[in-house]
Amino acid sequence: MSKKKSTKNRGTLVVSRKQAIALMEGLCFTTANKWSDEKLVNKLNKLPELIDTETTVGDMKDSALNDFMEQIVTAVGDGIKIMTKKTTTTTTKKTKKTKKSKPGAETTKAPATERAGKSSKKKVKKTTPAAAPKKGKVERDEYGNKANSQAGKINAVLLKAGKKHVTAEQIEKKTGLTRARINGHLSYLIDKGFAKSSDEGYRGKPSKKK
């Protein structure tokens, strides 16, 4: 699912704040509903860096949110900037407010010293963006997931248990992830033949990869 992000801005994709929050909460960002629009937009535009290739939102049957997540990842990878409707409205209002001129501005001139002071305040300090650190080789676990990802945390519990069975509740306590996220990944592992389920719980199977 992860796609290389383009450095060229090819337009914008406006999404609803409500749907964006639902997506981030489904990815275990439990405080997303308290984020500002700026923070929410920043997270959406960095989504490909926050998720793994096998990441699913909540229950695997929740196709609407998973399709929405795929749309965001694809758009960001194509260099399209993601914005929420509220952020777009705020930006438009700021632009219109800047264009309005104050009454009497053409007939009344401020003293030279005052004008100089005002002009200096309007100058914006230019900053050079720091170069992005080069990405090293991604460390993956026995099942092919990123070691430090949500999927990797679930895998680690199963692999550490060895031949013993573990329940979804035990995985939840050890990883801090939601039950929906855990059940979704366990279903993926069973489908791939990396895990088995029984009345006792779940047991991971060693990968054939070496």
Alpha helices by DSSP H, the chain: 17-26, 37-45, 47-50, 63-77, 85-99, 112-122, 150-161, 168-175, 179-192
| Least reliable range by pLDDT among 9-13, 160-164, 170-174, 206-210 | 206-210
Determine the Cα–Cα distance for residues 106 and 124; give it in Å rounded to an integer. Answer: 24
Between 193 and 102, name the one with better pLDDT: 193
pLDDT averaged over every residue in the chain: 75
Predicted local confidence at residue 167, as pLDDT: 92
Domains of the chain: 12-86 (no CATH), 150-203 (1.10.10.10)
Q: Are 53 and 151 in contact (CB under 8 A)?
A: no
Give percent of the chain above pLDDT 90: 5
Name residue, tokens 């438009």.
Answer: 92
pTM for this model (two decimals): 0.39
